[in-house]
């Protein structure tokens, strides 16, 4: 049986180069949009590779072990992988939605208050749709209401 563990979370973006803003540059200009499209497509491709890797892993490792403990271990491993892939599937949908926002020129602005989210925040979380202040308020409300 394989010792390979399913990753705990979505893969980290690889080969990422921070955007270098020019003095007086307009926020969310074409260069910035292209920068974020590149990040999002790269992230999406990494996630899709993980999906393919999981399918092949499950096909290659699928066995009917006679020992119930071995079967249970394999089923738990597959269950963890499938849960991780499900989270990544939801993330892929969010990435696609974010790419659509870029196409519609709605990207980079807080959906709650309308201010600029900021290049560095978007680089840290390319699918962010709220500024840090509105997101912090949402998290405080969520804690208070237990939602």
Name all domains of the chain by residue range, CATH numbers in brackets.
30-145 (1.20.120.910)
Average model confidence (pLDDT) across the chain: 87
CA 15 centroid distance within chain:
16
- pLDDT band at residue 2 under the 50/70/90 scheme: very low
Per-residue pLDDT at 88: 92
Which one, of 45, 41, 44, 17, lies nearest residue 119 by Cα? Answer: 17
Per residue in 82-131, pLDDT (tens digit) is: 899 899 999 999 999 999 999 999 999 999 999 999 999 999 999 999 99
- pLDDT band at residue 12 under the 50/70/90 scheme: low
Q: Which long-range contacts (CB under 8 A, 24 or more apart) does 138-144 make?
A: none
Mean pLDDT of the 56-81 span:
83
pTM of the model: 0.79
- Give 133's contacts (C-beta < 8 A, 6+ positions apart): 113
Which one, of 15, 18, 61, lies nearest residue 42 by Cα? Answer: 15
Per residue in 14-56, pLDDT (tens digit) is: 677 899 999 999 999 999 999 999 999 999 999 999 888 888 8
């Amino acid at each position: 049986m394989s010792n390979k563990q399913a990753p705990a979370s979505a893969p980290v973006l690889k080969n990422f180069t921070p955007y270098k803003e020019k003095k007086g540059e307009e926020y969310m200009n074409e260069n910035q949009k292209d920068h974020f499209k590149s990040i999002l497509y790269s992230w999406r491709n990494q996630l899709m590779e993980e999906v393919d890797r999981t399918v092949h892993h499950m096909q290659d490792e699928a066995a009917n072990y006679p020992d119930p403990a071995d079967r249970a271990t394999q089923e738990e491993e597959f269950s963890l992988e499938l849960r991780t892939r499900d989270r990544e599937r939801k993330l892929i949908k969010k990435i696609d939605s974010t790419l659509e926002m870029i196409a519609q020129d709605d990207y980079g602005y807080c959906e709650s208050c309308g201010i600029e989210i900021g290049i560095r925040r978007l680089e840290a979380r390319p699918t962010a749709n709220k500024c840090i202040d509105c997101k912090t308020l949402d998290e405080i409300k969520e804690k208070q209401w237990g939602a």
